[in-house]
Amino acid sequence: MPIASFKELIVWQKAINLAVLIYGLTDKFPRSEQYGLTSQMTRAAVSVSSNIAEGSIRGSKKDFKHFLRISSGSIAEL
């Protein structure tokens, strides 16, 4: 059964929860890390759900798989 929106994907929902968690954790980091580690971690966390969303609307399974691989890379970076 096709999905109506990427928001129905459990993996996207979990990626959003991950980003919220990372923002909460990095908020406790020292100010000196605001433009270093904190920035890198929050960008990587947001990238996961963003790539899942973008890939889901590309129109082909091949494109979707490509964006899932990018998301996986962001998880590894995180």
Global pTM reads 0.89
Distance, in Å, from the CA atom of 78 to the CA atom of 76, rounded to the nearest integer, reads 5
Structure tokens at 61: 């399974």
Structure tokens at 66: 């490509």
- What sections of 9-60 are H helices per DSSP? 10-26, 37-56
Judged by DSSP in three states, 46 sits in helix
Domain assignment of residue 29, given as a range: 9-77
The CATH number assigned to the domain holding 64 equals 1.20.1440.60
Q: Using one digit for the tens of pLDDT, what is the confidence trace for 11-70? A: 999 999 999 999 999 999 998 988 899 999 999 999 999 999 999 998 899 999 999 999
pLDDT at 3: 74
| Count of domains observed in the chain | 1
Q: Which of 73, 76, 71, 66 is nearest to 11 (CA)?
A: 71
The reply to whether 2 falls in a domain is: no
The reply to whether 14 falls in a domain is: yes
Examine the pLDDT at 1 and tell me if it is beyond 80: no
The reply to whether 56 falls in a domain is: yes
